[in-house]
Amino acid sequence: MTRVTLVRGDITRQHVDAVVNAANRAMRGGGGVDGAIHRAGGPGILADCIARFPHGLATGDAGWTTAGDLPARWVIHVVGPNHTAGERDRSLLTSCYRRALEVADDLGATTAAFPLISAGIYGWPLDDAVDAAVSTLRDTPSQVAEARIVAFDQAMYDRVERRLAAS
């Protein structure tokens, strides 16, 4: 049974087993949380991405690398759907959370920190992005004891808090 928790802050500073990255299909770094993770974790994460995922990842899928200089042990990279570019199949977004939990289980990770996948540059409507995160993390059977949603700003924190309180 996974407990979904919420903090406001920077995901690169979280002391958890695994940090989830909102990556892109190429897995060669990018903006937003992806850029922050690669900057804070150092070049080892990119080297690992290239070695382990020479062809990148499909939208909705997840895969892990080491976490370089981050306090976490692993980074679980997921590729959210790019709503702005016309990828609007919600099952691709919920798949990211489910696949991340599956990969966490494979690794034996019991704490994992999640950003709001697709809620930034990829432009997913915010309330639905929050609902997809909370409901999927709650409903997916997993050995992860704590799934920590990390809200980068106060407005997002408030949005997630409201959704957590709703059910």
CB-based contact 77:23 (threshold 8 Å): yes
Number of residues in contact with ligand ADP under rule CB under 6 A = 20
Between CA 11 and CA 127 the distance in angstroms is 20
Of 34, 48, 61, 131, which residue is the catalytic one?
A: 34
**Which H helix or E strand runs over 150?**
strand 146-151
Buried b (16+ CB within 10 A) or exposed e, 46-85: bebbeeebeebbebbbbbbbebbebebebbbbbbbbbbee
User: Among this protein's residues, is 34 annotated catalytic?
Assistant: yes
Interface stretch with ligand ADP, choices 42-50, 61-69, 111-119, 133-141 (CB under 6 A) = 111-119
> Residue 154 CB, nearest distance to ligand ADP (Å)?
11
Between CA 132 and CA 92 the distance in angstroms is 10
> Residue 157 CB, nearest distance to ligand ADP (Å)?
10
Site for ligand ADP in 60-89 (CB under 6 A): 80
Under the binding rule (CB under 6 A), the answer on residue 132 touching ligand ADP is no
Interface stretch with ligand ADP, choices 31-39, 45-53, 58-66, 159-167 (CB under 6 A) = 31-39
Nearer to ligand ADP, 155 or 166 (CB): 155
**Residue type at position 62:** A
CB-based contact 71:89 (threshold 8 Å): no
Under the binding rule (CB under 6 A), the answer on residue 56 touching ligand ADP is no
Site residues for ligand ADP per CB under 6 A: 10-12, 22, 32-34, 36, 80, 115-122, 150, 152, 156
